[in-house]
Chain A
Amino acid sequence: AQSVAQPEDQVNVAEGNPLTVKCTYSVSGNPYLFWYVQYPNRGLQFLLKYITGDNLVKGSYGFEAEFNKSQTSFHLKKPSALVSDSALYFCAVRDPGSSNTGKLIFGQGTTLQVKP
């Protein structure tokens, strides 16, 4: 079965330090991978996606993610965290078994807390 795992419920970093939010996936076939961010009482905002090509993907607000096929991972990174990055982050994979419907399978989410 297709699945996404975010092994950390919460990540704490100091402002200005690099951050990493982990994601691993399990799908058959080539995955389409996504990161979304959710602020309190708001919907999900798209950050970045990996479809094919360069394993390092750059997205919004200075975030990037690295696709690693051998480790089936797609970790989200940022070189220097801001307090305003504090939010709930979701990794998602497009279900390749769903033909062209594009439905997403989400991880449980990771709360990022950036302290001043």
Chain B
Amino acid sequence: GAGVSQTPSNKVTEKGKYVELRCDPISGHTALYWYRQSLGQGPEFLIYFQGTGAADDSGLPNDRFFAVRPEGSVSTLKIQRTERGDSAVYLCASSAWDSAVRVTDTQYFGPGTRLTVL
């Protein structure tokens, strides 16, 4: 079946501009994650949704970053007043909910959006 998709694949913007990054999870996956991967680093957690609500946003670096998932499927990561330090690959992942053990299952990642802030 279809995997996680992310749009756009590349985004170039100027310092101070607003950007939106979109994630379409695997159909039926209730859990959705955003990670940020800087050059030469492993991905770092940003935010986790279970359904429509942000269950854990402890990884968001500051209040310029915000994410929504209004209908429990597609999610949008929003970055206001972008800075050069925001340049990175933003990865989205989704997973099913294992009701037997009450934890999320394996996370499957999308191809990422490469954000460049000039």
Whether both chains belong to one complex is answered with: yes
Whether B104 lies near A44 (C-beta < 8 A) is no
- B: number of interface residues (CB 8 Å): 29
Residues of B within 8 A of A102 (CB): 31, 33, 48, 95, 103-104, 107
Residues of B within 8 A of A42 (CB): 111
Q: Does B70 contact A (CB under 8 A)?
A: no
Q: In the complex, A103 Cα to B106 Cα: how many Å? A: 10
Interface stretch of the complex, out of B36-44, B60-68, B76-84: B36-44
Q: In the complex, A34 Cα to B106 Cα: how many Å? A: 9
Q: In the complex, A108 Cα to B42 Cα: how many Å? A: 5
Q: Does B16 contact A (CB under 8 A)?
A: no
Whether A104 lies near B107 (C-beta < 8 A) is yes
- Contact A101 B48, CB 8 Å, known A43-B4, A90-B43, A109-B42: yes
**15 other contacts beyond A41-B111, A43-B4, with CB at 8 A cut-off?**
A43-B110, A43-B112, A44-B43, A44-B91, A44-B109, A45-B109, A46-B107, A90-B42, A101-B55, A102-B48, A104-B35, A106-B42, A106-B43, A106-B44, A109-B40
